[in-house]
């Protein structure tokens, strides 16, 4: 480095208010900044081009920032809340957390439709060619499937039966078909109710050819998309399918949330496991082995249920909204990381 260069570097690093950049210095600083920030060139490459040391390039770039020649902005689409997303991901040890701004009038509504649209974009990132995508029943997953416009070639399998067999074509079966159509892959729907009257009927249905074929794919699922319900009418599919006596029984066990017909208390422990014997659904231990499980759920009415399911360790990623996120950030002691997916209740 020559003496004039050292002088320039010293003056810039000192940041003296009296120091002014002349026209030539301003033009050079702007050119270097363009090379570095817009063209992606390294400081060494810029130094070689301008015939100076890389130390001078570094100081010029610093000065360009200090004097507002360069302004760096981190911008995401207006509907995404980057700060809440990062804080939520860190608190629960999630792989991905995406928090969506919801209109004030929609804060009391569970699972605003825009969650499905954002989740569709997220799946476009997470699913790779050759993956097996699993979709569980839920209004949010149906909204997500309707919003899908890109997926690499993959197999799509239904992970649960349907809420009402009479509406299968407009619900999760259609969601599976839609995702397979977008990806160009095979679809494996399940034409059966989620909840059956007894365990024997459920077992007989699981052995039927079409349903058994779908179940064979459960261990191959690489990305799953699930919904979360809180234990109240209209917010939990399972709650709505049970009799009054059954609801009271499971409530007495402390159920606070359900996901894919699995029930959880407020600490994320599974309760009421006998219900699973009557359901057409992916087993919890299989869900735990899926590398990426994305839950889509939002709204203040679901916030406590989302916390409970996240504490179970079954979910690796979450798409939610700001009202739920604010509750989650203040919800009791910091939970263990979701990616530590050992079953707290044992096998």
Q: What is the pLDDT of residue 325?
A: 94
In this prediction, residue 12 has a pLDDT band, given cuts at 50, 70 and 90, of very low
What's the CATH fold of domain 80-340? Rossmann fold (3.40.50)
For the segment 68-83, what is each residue's pLDDT rounded down to a tens digit? Answer: 888 776 555 557 888 8
Asked which of 6-15, 107-116, 155-164, 305-314 is least confident by mean pLDDT, the reply is 6-15
Distance CA 13, CA 41 (A): 22
- For the cut 90, the answer to whether the pLDDT of residue 204 exceeds it is yes
Contact assessment for residue 179 and residue 134, using Cβ atoms and an 8 Å cutoff: no
Q: At what angle do helices 23-33 and 43-50 cross, to 10 degrees?
A: 140
- Mean pLDDT rounded to a whole number for the chain: 84
DSSP symbol at 36: I
Q: Is the dihedral of CA 205, 272, 243, 232 positive or negative?
A: negative
Mean pLDDT of 245-262: 91
Q: What is the pLDDT of residue 79?
A: 76
- For the cut 60, the answer to whether the pLDDT of residue 273 exceeds it is yes
pTM above 0.85, yes or no: no
In this prediction, residue 288 has a pLDDT band, given cuts at 50, 70 and 90, of very high
> What is the percentage of the chain residues whose pLDDT exceeds 90?
50
129 phi/psi in degrees, rounded to 5: -55, 135
Residues of the chain with CATH 3.40.50.1360: 80-340
In this prediction, residue 27 has a pLDDT band, given cuts at 50, 70 and 90, of confident
H/E run at residue 50: helix 43-50
315 phi/psi in degrees, rounded to 5: -105, 135
For the segment 81-99, what is each residue's pLDDT rounded down to a tens digit? Answer: 888 999 999 999 999 999 9
DSSP symbol at 273: G
Residues of the chain with CATH 1.10.10: 23-67
In this prediction, residue 241 has a pLDDT band, given cuts at 50, 70 and 90, of confident
What's the CATH fold of domain 23-67? Arc Repressor Mutant, subunit A (1.10.10)
Distance CA 172, CA 145 (A): 9
């Amino acid at each position: 480095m020559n003496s004039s260069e050292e002088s320039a570097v010293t003056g810039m690093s000192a940041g003296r208010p009296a120091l002014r950049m002349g026209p030539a210095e301003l033009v050079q600083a702007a050119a270097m900044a363009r090379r570095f920030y817009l063209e992606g060139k390294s400081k060494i490459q810029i130094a070689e081009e301008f015939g100076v040391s890389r130390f001078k390039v570094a100081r010029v770039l610093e000065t360009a920032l200090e004097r507002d020649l360069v302004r760096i902005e981190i911008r995401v689409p207006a509907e995404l809340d980057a700060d809440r997303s990062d804080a939520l991901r860190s608190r629960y040890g999630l792989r991905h957390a995406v928090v969506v701004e919801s209109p004030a009038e929609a804060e009391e509504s569970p699972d605003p439709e825009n969650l499905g649209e954002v989740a569709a974009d997220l799946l476009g990132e997470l699913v790779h060619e050759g993956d097996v995508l699993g979709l569980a029943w839920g209004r949010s997953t149906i909204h997500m499937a309707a919003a899908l416009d890109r997926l690499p070639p993959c197999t799509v399998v239904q992970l649960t039966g349907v809420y009402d067999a009479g509406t299968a074509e407009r619900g999760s079966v259609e969601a599976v078909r839609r995702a397979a159509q977008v990806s160009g892959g095979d679809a494996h729907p399940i034409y059966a109710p989620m909840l059956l009257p007894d365990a024997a009927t459920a077992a007989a249905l699981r052995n039927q050819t079409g349903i058994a074929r779908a179940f064979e794919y459960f261990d191959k699922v690489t990305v799953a998309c699930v919904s979360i319900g809180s234990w109240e009418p209209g917010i939990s599919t399972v709650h709505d399918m049970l009799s009054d006596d059954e609801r009271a029984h499971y409530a007495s066990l402390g159920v606070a949330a359900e996901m894919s017909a699995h029930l959880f208390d407020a600490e994320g422990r599974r309760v009421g496991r006998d219900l699973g014997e009557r359901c057409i659904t992916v087993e919890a231990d299989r869900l735990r082995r899926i590398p990426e499980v994305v839950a889509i759920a939002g709204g203040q009415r679901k916030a406590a249920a989302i916390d409970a399911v996240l504490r179970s360790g079954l979910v690796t990623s979450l798409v939610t909204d700001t009202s739920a996120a604010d509750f989650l950030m203040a919800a009791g002691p910091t939970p263990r990381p979701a990616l530590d997916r050992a079953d707290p209740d044992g096998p």
